[in-house]
């Protein structure tokens, strides 16, 4: 198996995870330790649960992989869609850092 896909995943994880962890800490500055603990625990807990489910599926290993991969991809996509939706300003309100009536095109 070529190492390129694993390398691409590892580099992407190394770039995204520290930024995401910093964002989580900003959301809960008075409870940064708890936020870091939950952020570290949840992926391990979900991974352990999905491995258990995959081990219980009496099928070919490729089918087991799909039993784990498809729900993770769907949940990740849904979480990303919710995060993007929450960051957009309401209609008629200027984005943070812009004056009323300004758009991003005026700042190029």
pLDDT of residue 33: 84
Q: How many domains does the chain have?
A: 1
Q: What is the pLDDT of residue 45?
A: 92
Amino acid 90: pLDDT: 65
Residue 99 lies in a domain: no
In a domain, 82, yes or no: yes
Q: Which of 45, 64, 62 has the alpha carbon at shortest distance from 54?
A: 64
d(CA 60, CA 2): 22
Residue 97 lies in a domain: no
Question: Structure tokens of 90?
Answer: 């309401």
Confirm whether 69 is domain-assigned: yes
Q: Is 30 left (phi over 0), alpha (psi -120 to 50) or beta?
A: alpha
Q: Please tell me the distance from the alpha carbon of residue 6 to that of residue 12, in angstroms, as a whole number.
A: 10
Write out the chain's pLDDT in tens, 108 residues.
577 877 888 888 888 888 888 887 787 788 888 888 888 898 889 889 888 888 888 888 888 888 888 888 898 889 888 877 766 666 666 555 555 555 555 444
Q: Name, in order, each residue with C-beta under 8 angstroms of 54's C-beta and a sequence gap of 6 or more.
A: 64, 65, 67, 68
On whether residue 31 sits in a domain, the answer given is yes
Range of the domain at 30: 4-92
| Position 30 in a domain | yes
Query: Is the residue at 104 inside a domain?
Result: no
Specify if 108 maps to a domain: no
Tokens at residue 59, please?
A: 């099928």
The pLDDT, as a whole number, for residue 19 is 83
Cα separation, 103 vs 89, in Å, equals 12
């Amino acid at each position: 198996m070529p190492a390129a896909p694993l390398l691409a995943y590892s580099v992407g994880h190394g770039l995204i995870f520290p930024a995401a962890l910093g964002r989580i800490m900003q959301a809960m500055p008075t409870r940064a330790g708890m936020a870091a603990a939950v952020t570290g625990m949840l992926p391990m807990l979900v991974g352990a649960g999905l491995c258990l489910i995959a081990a219980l599926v009496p099928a070919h290993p490729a089918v087991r992989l799909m039993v784990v991969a498809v729900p993770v991809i769907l949940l990740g996509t849904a979480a990303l869609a919710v995060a993007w939706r929450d960051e957009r300003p309401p209609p008629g309100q200027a984005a943070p850092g812009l004056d009323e009536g300004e758009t991003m095109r005026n700042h190029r």
